[in-house]
Amino acid sequence: MSRPVRVSPQELRQTLIEAIVEVAPDVDPTTIDPCEDLAEQLALDSVDMLATLVSVNERTGIEIPERDYPKLATLDDAVAYLVHAAVRQVDAAARQEEDSSI
């Protein structure tokens, strides 16, 4: 049975950028340094960061526990985290499906 990978890293990166621009409309996405701390380089405070992550959650369904917030500090880190989280979630869903089909 083939596992449907619903989100690619490119798509996740795009989703994250869209969420950032929603919170901070003046940000030019092409200027974001993927290795620099997002909050620092874009002057996003905790309310902005939370809003961004909530937006990502709403767009992708990926759950991000609060203790993991530091793992999403840079754009690259965040995309990597989201890819793994997405795969985990898809795996879990697939397992559930298999379990229920037995």
Partner 1 sequence: MPSLGADMESGTLLEWRVKPGDVVKRGDIVAVVDTSKAEIEVEIFQDGTVEQLLVAEGTRVPVGTVLATLQTTSDESERAQAPSAPPPPTEGPSAERPRVSPVARRAAERLGVDITSLHGSGPNGAITLADVQGTAGSTQAARAVKPDEAPAPSVAADRQAAMRQAIGALMARSKKEIPHYYLQSTIDLSGALEWLGKANETRPMSERLLPAALLLSATAKAAKEAPAMNGFWRSDAFQPAEHVHLGVAVSLRGGGLVAPAIRDADRKSVDELMASLNDLVRRARVGVLRSSEMFDPTITVTNLGDLGAEVVHGVIYPPQVALVGFGAVGERPWAHSGMLGVRPLVTVTLAGDHRVSDGAEGSRVLALGGRYRQRPEEREK
Residues in contact with partner 1 by CB under 8 A are: 23-26, 39-40, 43, 45-48, 50-51, 53-54, 57-58, 63-67
SS (H, E, C) 68-91: HHHHHCEHHHHHHHHHHHHHHHHH
> Shortest distance, CB of residue 79 to partner 1, whole angstroms?
18
Cβ proximity to partner 1, 50 vs 94, nearer residue: 50
CA dist., res. 91 & res. 97, Å (int): 10
Cβ proximity to partner 1, 67 vs 102, nearer residue: 67
Cβ proximity to partner 1, 5 vs 54, nearer residue: 54
- 12 by Cβ neighbours in 10 Å (0-12 / 13-18 / 19+) ranks as buried
CA dist., res. 22 & res. 65, Å (int): 22
> Shortest distance, CB of residue 53 to partner 1, whole angstroms?
6
> Shortest distance, CB of residue 102 to partner 1, whole angstroms?
30
